[in-house]
Structure 1
């Protein structure tokens, strides 16, 4: 059994618990939070509770899942890596590239693996989309579009003091849209340049609640990224669209779990409908967090990098930071300039 510990017993930790319980060769043995009341919610037989991460790291845990506010991810990852424990860190892996690089370096130095939680890659519709891209069915890609039109009302931000702050939350791109941005990068490849606008239009928060960006990829394709948490009265749409010379695909819905359009020159209508129906039968598939946990167990046994490793997490973070810096400066940002920082 691969023994797991969780630090940070907030909302997202519940998904990690369910995922660990669902993986046959994973076992939850420890939880950690400075809030003893939260610990009680997760307490059960066979799981030791800690209020100090240093104490938990002295135990026999193999992997630690970091589920704290985003601004604490880097500090805790370094602590876990130095204790020779593998790391699963929630998104975003960090709020700065300097922290991300330090995390990657610490894990490499200590011979431990790091996975970043970008679970949307495992959605059935997303898997089908990636399969079409890999097959060359789109031909030359013209452009892509990623949209997150969600609602996070003021009560959501008022519920926890860290939400909506630049130091701990990071804004709509960092905290909500980064999953969709990860998918955009996974499908389209490296980014050359970004131009962006951002604003705090409706929510009473420090960070932005609305962002619109234009992207040029290194392969010449263009992209448009729209993200907002101001949609009334509830989540409206998360979508990913790719347009090529021989194919058009749109994945959407309140979350990007359904195929909305699927048209390819080498695929007749009946075949396209079969793909849609296959996804609609089980649009959510195996929960993404469960896939991340299973992959970490497999990566440890096979001595390989996790599917969504630190470098993948850094790419998504880089795009977020590029959009934020372009919006702040009013000038395009070259991704190669960000790479030089590391």
Structure 2
């Protein structure tokens, strides 16, 4: 039995709780949140010990094996380092941290304590994405020309106004760090490292510090070109999340409001009938086993087998680095504000 604790009992913690419940080898033994009301509600529901201070929890619950970090992104580093130093394995919600320096500090603390770290990038386990990865690994599309990532979602002002940290640079980030980071993880997992970035970002509609819209072009180290479009400004619901791959011998588009369906598939490695069969199989079960369950189950297996988790801290770092590269290049470009066409650089 692997014993789990959760630091941060907001919305995303529910996915960790449900995943732990589903796994026979997992047991939730402690919760931590600064919000006493929220903590008490979960304590009563789950019948586990609760703490308002993470250090207090780590001191009083030595049986904890794994800590799930579900706090606002800007707090990940302090909680992850404290848990690592206490000898606990780490499951860290995306993004692993908001700066490369903080990620490196987490990695060093984990290495010093010889504990494992995984980052919650659960979209890798979607059935449609798994099929695309399978085809790419077998070179069924031939030499790739370009890829496209699109995230056209709605996060209205009420979403950002729920908590004062949402949309801030210090605690949250914008559409790239918070929403599109999953797509940016996927595209590097599928295609490989990115060598060059050209971008524009802006805050067009939402009243937040960080960007609500971003566009970028990429060149991967393989020479493949890429296009990224991401926004939380879409009226009035999530419209599209997609990943498109184009090569000399085929193409694929994974899409829908979330990237869970194979919208188009045509490649030399599959007959038309086989491609249609893939599409139908995914349509019958587009979500598969919840991604958080995959992440937590893999951490248990990594502990038992003495190996690294499938999604490593380096994977999490690569996703954050690409976000930062897009933002840094975007901030150097000239953009225009609505009022009077004022130019800012």
Query: Structure 1, unaligned stretches of length 5 or more?
Result: 332-342
Equivalents in 2 of 1:215, 1:114: separation in Å? 28
Equivalents in 2 of 1:265, 1:130: separation in Å? 15
Q: In the alignment, which residue of structure 1 is the partner of 2:230?
A: 227
1:25 partnered with 2:25? yes
Q: Which stretches of structure 1, 4 residues or more, deviate above 6 A after TM superposition?
A: none
1:155 to 154, 158, 162: 158
Contact preservation (8 Å) 2:127, 2:286: yes
Equivalents in 2 of 1:99, 1:138: separation in Å? 38
1:77 partnered with 2:80? yes
1:207 partnered with 2:210? yes
TM-score normalised to structure 1 length = 0.95
Deviation larger for 52-61 or 129-138: 52-61
Query: Structure 2, unaligned stretches of length 5 or more?
Result: 335-345
Equivalents in 1 of 2:237, 2:127: separation in Å? 24
Q: Cα distance, 1:196 vs. partner?
A: 0.4
SS in 2 for 1:235: coil
1:194 partnered with 2:204? no
Q: In the alignment, which residue of structure 2 is the partner of 1:248?
A: 251
Q: Cα distance, 1:9 vs. partner?
A: 0.5
Q: In the alignment, which residue of structure 1 is the partner of 2:301?
A: 298
TM-score normalised to structure 2 length = 0.95
Instruction: Give matches, 1:143-182, under 5 Å.
Output: 143-182=146-185
Paired residues in the alignment total: 331
Q: In the alignment, which residue of structure 2 is the partner of 1:339?
A: none
Contact preservation (8 Å) 2:32, 2:53: yes
Q: In the alignment, which residue of structure 1 is the partner of 2:337?
A: none
Contact preservation (8 Å) 2:254, 2:264: yes
Equivalents in 1 of 2:306, 2:215: separation in Å? 40
Change (3 A) 1:150 1:45: closer
Equivalents in 2 of 1:161, 1:108: separation in Å? 34
1:53 partnered with 2:54? yes
SS in 1 for 2:150: strand
Instruction: Spell out, residue by residue over 1:6-64, the C-alpha distance to the aligned partner (whole angstroms, 9 max, x if none).
Output: 00000000000001111120111100001111112311454111111112112111000
Equivalents in 1 of 2:189, 2:46: separation in Å? 40
Change (3 A) 1:181 1:262: same
Equivalents in 2 of 1:174, 1:266: separation in Å? 35
Q: In the alignment, which residue of structure 1 is the partner of 2:34?
A: 34
Equivalents in 1 of 2:204, 2:100: separation in Å? 27
Deviation larger for 89-98 or 41-50: 41-50
Contact preservation (8 Å) 2:135, 2:269: no
